[in-house]
Structure 1
Amino acid sequence: MGELAERGRRTGAGDRHRGGRSWAEWRKALPGDDADGLTWLLFHQEDVISLEQARGHLSPKAIRHRVDTGRWRQVHRAVFVTHNGPVGAEQLRWIAVLAAGPAAVLGGLTAAEAWGLRRYGSRLVHLLIPAAHQSRSVPSGVVVHRTTTLPEEDVLPVGQPRRTMPARSLVDAAQWAVTDEEARAVIAAGFQQRLIGGDDVDRVLERLPRARRRRLIAQTAADAAGGAHSLAELDFLGLVRRAGLPEPSRQVVRRDAAGRRRYVDVLFEEWHVHVEIDGGHHMDPAAAWADMGRQNDLWIEGDRVLRFPAWAVRNQPEKVICQLRAALRAANWPG
């Protein structure tokens, strides 16, 4: 429960939404006190039910009648959706775990998305199953991964459908990513979006000594925990190290002229050189002006501020380092 409680402390909430609904909407949809067991089961499982579960409440004839009349739809060999509307992401997750069997848990990007990860969703549903369990057929669009290591602390102890905890989810997503860059991006996003923090990733890697990309995941987590949250900031940090420049601080809190807390992406504190890495959100005029105002406050105090777009960090690294080295030397860096 430690990671779950820690996540709630960091975010100020737990799972604030169920199936995309606010708590008020969710409570309004609750079945009445006189609802039977089947109604409650369908409520908790997003209107998805397995044949085995259905047989615990209905006779075979009643089940066939619901399917024949179109009230239920058979979406897999032994899984039904109990309505005839569109099937959403939450229902696809239930279909996957019910089809795969009781040992299956949501894993990787699917579990991370269920925890609230944004912008990294997958069209596939990723499941994690202990290697010793026999596999079942699963619907198309479901990918089954096997593991020999799935301790209790890596699985959500309460709530459904069962899924891996945030740090394990992100480590697995990084292992299963197509490229190293995708792996780094998802770990960085986990820190940036406050799904994980501190040594969460390190504790998972201790339990997975043969994890794919283990060193890359550990280094990315260490840098992200130190404040370099975006992939562009991680790329910039790598450039700085390869160029032999001094190690900067990341995501440093400064006060602007009005006393408000502002975060500086990168700070070479001894030489008062600031670096801002501009992502896609800087295309928004309001966001750009807010950053310009913060930059002006620093210039007024006499500090040097450099700004680089993310694409320049990746595509023109020599020019980025050349300008940074010149700024540091101008500030009396002896290198």
Structure 2
Amino acid sequence: MVLTLPGDAADALDWLTFEQAGVVTTAQATRLLTEGVVRGLVRSGRWRPICRGVLLTGNGRLTRDQQLWVAVLAAGPGAVLAGATAATEAGVRGLRREPLHVLVPAARRAARTVLRRLPIDMAAVIVHRTSVLPDAHLQQARPTRTTTARALVDAAGWARDLDEAQSTLAAGCQQRRVTPEEIRAVVDALPRAPRRQLIRETVADIAGGAEALSEIDFVRLCRRYGLPRPELQHRRKDAAGRTRWLDAYWREWGVHVEVDGSHHMDVRHWAADMARQNDVWASGDRILRFPAWLVRARPDEVAVTLHRALTAAGWRSRR
């Protein structure tokens, strides 16, 4: 359904249809028309019932915008887009687009966790409740959604596992849609937020320079095994004067670490990385390389190797 800006002769229903992407509640429609007229539009097939209390002022398949409106209208008064859904609408890429997440006031005890009896062209909707939703956490949009910082905090708390939670926070910061300080401010306002400590630690690591999940894992490995914290995404010039970025670098001891993701299997990436590695070696620094899976699956092995390299370079453990 293509929505066009209402003309000069538009009535209240035309504007409501435009503002809500063609989705209205039965209550809204009957206030502007009559129950009989609304019933006739549905029976004739000109309007389409979507779920209890929600109508589409047309008869086509639901678009993404219409799905978002169905989600908040079906969830009831005070509902706003939240979590990964709100973050995606704010421009954060790489998050799960379904199910749709909606937040409603905790006082509404009758709110259902999952909306039922939705048509096949409607995404699943999960309804969450909160007792803390100040105006500062709301973004005026169509439909209304939580701010990007609040959306990412909620998304991390509702994520399927810890990796997804950390990746969600990293994505928002790496894509410059939000700052670590904004996320910290939201966490401070939510003393009962799920995974609150994990979110705090992850944001601290991101503020320290970690951008990818592999880098966050690496920083935590160093902290866990009593190793000094490295500089992350360290900038330096190579022999040709080009700017290079090092994943992790201990300047004092001249030790450099690269954490390789799956993209390093590509020949072109491998050749570029080899040239960078050779340049680092030629400058006199030590360089170590670990695949991201090893950092996560076998941290003991990585820690032993790092300990040996740093010790050989002059570092002395305080343990």
* Equivalent residue number for residue 121 of structure 2: none
For residue 188 of structure 1, report the CA deviation from its aligned partner: 2.4
| Structure 2 residue 104 is the aligned partner of structure 1 residue 129 | yes
| Structure 2 residue 130 is the aligned partner of structure 1 residue 147 | yes
* Equivalent residue number for residue 116 of structure 1: 91
* Equivalent residue number for residue 26 of structure 2: 51
C-alpha distance in 2 between matches for 1:153 and 1:190:
19
Q: 1:42 aligns with which of 4, 8, 17?
A: 17
Q: Work out which of the two has the higher radius of gyration on C-alpha atoms and give 1 or 2.
A: 2
C-alpha distance in 2 between matches for 1:161 and 1:258:
52
- In 2 relative to 1, CA 266–30 (structure 1 residues): closer, same or farther, beyond 3 Å? farther
For residue 284 of structure 1, report the CA deviation from its aligned partner: 4.0
What is the SS of the residue equivalent to 1:271? coil
- In 2 relative to 1, CA 149–291 (structure 1 residues): closer, same or farther, beyond 3 Å? same
User: Conserved in 1, the CA contact under 8 Å of 2:180 and 2:206?
Assistant: no
- In 2 relative to 1, CA 134–241 (structure 1 residues): closer, same or farther, beyond 3 Å? closer
For residue 35 of structure 1, report the CA deviation from its aligned partner: 6.7
Larger deviation: 236-245 or 47-56? 47-56
Matches within 5 A, 1:1-335: 30-31=4-5, 33-34=7-8, 36=10, 37-133=12-108, 135-136=110-111, 139-140=115-116, 141-156=124-139, 158-335=140-317
TM-score normalized with structure 1 length: 0.81
- In 2 relative to 1, CA 166–232 (structure 1 residues): closer, same or farther, beyond 3 Å? same
Gaps of 5+ in 1: 1-25
C-alpha distance in 2 between matches for 1:175 and 1:261:
37
What per-residue deviation string (whole Å, max 9, x for no partner) do you get for residues 177-232 of structure 1? 34333323322222223222131122112211222222221111111111112222
C-alpha distance in 2 between matches for 1:102 and 1:292:
58
For residue 268 of structure 1, report the CA deviation from its aligned partner: 1.0
User: Conserved in 2, the CA contact under 8 Å of 1:103 and 1:133?
Assistant: no
Larger deviation: 216-225 or 190-199? 190-199
What is the SS of the residue equivalent to 1:246? coil
Q: Which residue identity is paired with 2:161?
A: T
For residue 120 of structure 1, report the CA deviation from its aligned partner: 2.5
What per-residue deviation string (whole Å, max 9, x for no partner) do you get for residues 36-83 of structure 1? 254444344333222233335444444334323333221111212234
C-alpha distance in 2 between matches for 1:188 and 1:97:
27
- In 2 relative to 1, CA 259–197 (structure 1 residues): closer, same or farther, beyond 3 Å? farther
For residue 313 of structure 1, report the CA deviation from its aligned partner: 0.8
C-alpha distance in 1 between matches for 2:300 and 2:198:
23
- In 2 relative to 1, CA 316–35 (structure 1 residues): closer, same or farther, beyond 3 Å? farther
C-alpha distance in 1 between matches for 2:149 and 2:269:
30
Gaps of 5+ in 2: 117-123
For residue 259 of structure 1, report the CA deviation from its aligned partner: 4.2
User: Conserved in 2, the CA contact under 8 Å of 1:31 and 1:43?
Assistant: yes
User: Conserved in 2, the CA contact under 8 Å of 1:31 and 1:39?
Assistant: no
Q: What is the alpha-carbon root mean square deviation over aligned residues?
A: 2.6
What per-residue deviation string (whole Å, max 9, x for no partner) do you get for residues 119-155 of structure 1? 3215222111111235456733222211111111111
- In 2 relative to 1, CA 326–146 (structure 1 residues): closer, same or farther, beyond 3 Å? same
